[in-house]
Amino acid sequence: MIGNWLARRKSSNTGPVASVPPGALVWTVGDIHGRLDLLRPLLSAVLEDFARSAQTRKVLIFLGDYVDRGPDSQGVIELLCRLADGGPVETIFLRGNHEDRMAAFLEDPGIGPTWCDYGGREALRSYGVTAPADRADKDAWAAASADFNAAVSDRHRAFLRDLKFSASVGDYFFVHAGARPGVPLDQQSRHDMMWIRQTFLDDSRAFEKIIVHGHTPTDDIQSDHRRIGLDTGAYATGVLTAVRLEGEERAALQTAMTGSGVELWRSEIETTKGARRSAR
């Protein structure tokens, strides 16, 4: 059982230690990108941990980019829709730049070629729609958008429509891409929260809260005095990452595709050095 082996580690910040409020347990999941095969076992382990917990508030936050690049965007959204139907766990689904473009294609066929440049082609395929081969064929893209509109259920449309741009629990601010330095978190633009990259990553200034984000793929969890980055490039690396926050403790769980199938890995989060993977 997950409670018997999940690594836990307090932040090693020299300043005040970030925490979630008493009585709360938070899990947050990084960029999925159509990897339903990795999401299912990760979600099963996370829900098992919630079930074992005595905490009164249980929050599960997804950081966006559920679709594109990987093979089963449709399956991922369907699973998340079922999870959102209700239960003992509070679910929060954030909007990533890939969901933003997917939703836009439902309304504007003209964005299709650009969307497909970074993964939309695979998302369309998961809904049974073939992207046109000719970028300049406007009629073909209009037809593809019409086919996509026919294939996307009302349930999936509602899921896309209701995605949030940010969430905050205790000393943590959850967002897809990051935040603009020098701007208070409650004044961040929607565009920055979905798309910002180097302006956020290359700055050393801390925010009012620790930023927990995805969007920028890295080999492993990135963690320092200002942010925790959870995008481990699941669509390409076969590694999907989640982080557990309880009190001042941080722990990590990953599902990884190996030669023997999907395995669960645990990690210790090092504040200044990222995450150190422990024994499987």
> Does residue 111 sit in the same domain as residue 248?
no
pLDDT in tens, 229-249: 999 999 999 999 999 999 999
Domain termination site, one of 118, 135, 162: 162
185 and 257, same domain (yes or no): yes
Domain count, the chain: 2
In terms of domains, do 112 and 147 share one?
Answer: yes
Does 13 fall in a domain? no
Q: Averaged over 25-46, what is the pLDDT?
A: 97
- Give the 3-state DSSP-derived string for the chain, with helices as H, strands as E and coil as C: CHHHCCCCEECCCCCCCCCCCCCEEEEEECCCCCCHHHHHHHHHHHHHHHHHCCCCEEEEEECCCCCCCCCCHHHHHHHHHHHHCCCCCEEEEECCHHHHHHHHHHHCHHHHHHHHHCCHHHHHHHCCCCCCCCCCCHHHHHHHHHHHHHHCCHHHHHHHHCCECEEEECCEEEECCCCCCCCCHHHCCHHHHHHCCHHHHCCCCCCCCEEEECCCCCCCCEECCCEEECCCCHHHHCEEEEEEEECCEEEEEEEEEECCEEEEEEEEEECCCEEEECCC
Q: How many CA atoms lie within 13 A of 242 on its CB side?
A: 28
Give me the pLDDT at residue 88, please: 83
- Of residues 10 and 71, more confidence is placed in 71
Whether 30 and 149 map to the same domain: the answer is no
Q: What is the mean pLDDT of residues 112-136?
A: 97
Average pLDDT for residues 21-42, to the nearest whole number? 98
Joined tokens for residue 117: 């440049």
The pLDDT confidence band at residue 211, using thresholds 50, 70 and 90, is: very high
Tokens 């969890």: give the residue. Answer: 221
Domain co-membership, 92 together with 103? no
First CA to last CA distance, the chain:
13
* Torsion sign over Cα 27, 31, 34, 37: negative
Helices 97-107, 154-161: crossing angle, 10 deg rounding? 130
pTM to 2 decimal places: 0.92
Tokens 């601010």 sit on residue: 173
Instruction: Give the residue from 162, 188, 208 where a domain finishes.
Output: 162
In a domain, 202, yes or no: yes
Query: Is 36 found in the same domain as 152?
Result: no
| Residue 49: domain span | 2-8+18-96+163-277
Distance CA 280, CA 26 (A): 23
CATH assignment at residue 246: 3.60.21.10
Domain-ending residue, one of 143, 162, 181: 162
Do 141 and 227 share a domain, yes or no?
Answer: no
